[in-house]
Amino acid sequence: MQEALRNYKASTFQALSHPTRIAILEALREGELSTRALQEKLGVEQANLSQHLAILRSRQIVNNRKDGNQVFYSIRNPVLIEVLDTMRRYFETNLTEAIQMLEEVAREAHAR
């Protein structure tokens, strides 16, 4: 069971490993958007967007539905937004620590 869970986590993180896919999810955090709206919001080419959406769909990270000739996307499970927010806090913590180390190095260099 542990191995299956690790594989699932790795597969999900692999799907999230591209900045465009993160941007798609951030755009969808407020709710459903059409493919066209996503394309306009992100400024990416339609073919590129389609490839990224296909990966997110295959990993069951986003839902899609058709309405006429438009396809709309939404985040399948809002818990994923919490994961992204946690990653942002993780980044901010690491950035704060790096800034503190740089300030200390600068103080030491200035003291010489």
pTM of the entire structure? 0.83
What CATH number has the domain bearing residue 59? 1.10.10.10
Same domain, 18 and 42: yes
- Residue 61, classified by CB atoms within 10 Å of its CB into exposed (0-12), middle (13-18) or buried (19+), is buried
DSSP 8-state code for residue 30: T
The CB-side HSE value for 61 (13 A sphere, CA atoms) comes to: 27
**Which amino acid is residue 17, in one-letter code?**
S
| Predicted local confidence at residue 78, as pLDDT | 92
| Predicted local confidence at residue 106, as pLDDT | 85
* Domain extent at residue 103: 78-112
| Predicted local confidence at residue 108, as pLDDT | 84
- In the beta sheet, which residues pair with residue 70? 67
| Predicted local confidence at residue 33, as pLDDT | 98
Parts of the chain with a pLDDT under 50: none
CA 108 to CA 15: how far, in whole Å? 43
| Predicted local confidence at residue 95, as pLDDT | 83
Which tens digits make up the pLDDT trace of 16-29?
999 999 999 999 99
Q: How many domains does the chain have?
A: 2
Same domain, 104 and 71: no
| Predicted local confidence at residue 6, as pLDDT | 95
